[in-house]
Structure 1
Amino acid sequence: METETIAQLIRSGIPGAEVQVSGDGSHFEAIIVSETFEGLSPIKRERLVMETVKDRVASGELHALSIKARTPAQSAALG
């Protein structure tokens, strides 16, 4: 699976999100910055992101996805 494919799936499910995906073909890391995450717990943020790729996980195309879901303020604080 390609990193850009995963990024597009996440962008489609979380409109307006800034998405960066890196990985080696089976294990990926996604950094997502979105106002949608305001007020959500870390687990709810992760579930929201996983919902966007669940079909690929179920099919076995996507094996592992590490998620860093941040609000714009959190992203700015991290530099």
Structure 2
Amino acid sequence: MQALEVRDFLQARLPGVQVEVEGEGCNFQLNLISDELASLSPVKRQQQVYAHLNAWIADGSIHAVTMKFFSRAAWAART
């Protein structure tokens, strides 16, 4: 599995969320940029993303996922 595949998959299912993905194979680091997600509790944020990734996790396509969430302002200030 490639990072671009994960990025495109999540962006199609999470409207308005910018997804930056690093990694390949079955381990990925996700940076999710969205004011809406950033305003949720950490558990709610992860639930939003895992809801879409669970099938790939269950079949072993994805083994490990690390997520960081940013508001658009925080992301812009970071880069």
Q: TM-score, normalised by structure 1?
A: 0.84
Q: Which runs of 5+ in 2 are unaligned?
A: none
Q: Which amino acid aligns with 1:63?
A: H
Aligned to 2:73: 73
Q: Distance in 2 between matches of 1:74 and 1:47?
A: 21
Distance 2:24 2:38 in 1: 30
Correspondence for 1:17: 17
Q: How many residues are aligned here?
A: 79
**Cα shift readout 1:29-72 (whole Å, capped 9, x = no counterpart):** 01010122143012211111111211111111111110112221
Residue ranges of structure 1 left out of the alignment (5+ in a row): none
Other-structure match for 2:8: 8
C-alpha separation in 1, matches of 2:35 and 2:22: 22
Q: CA RMSD in A?
A: 1.5
State the distance in 1 between where 2:24 and 2:55 align: 20
* TM-score (ref. length: structure 2): 0.84
d(CA) in 2 for partners of 1:52 and 1:72? 22
> For 1:34 and 1:52, how far apart are their aligned partners in 2?
16
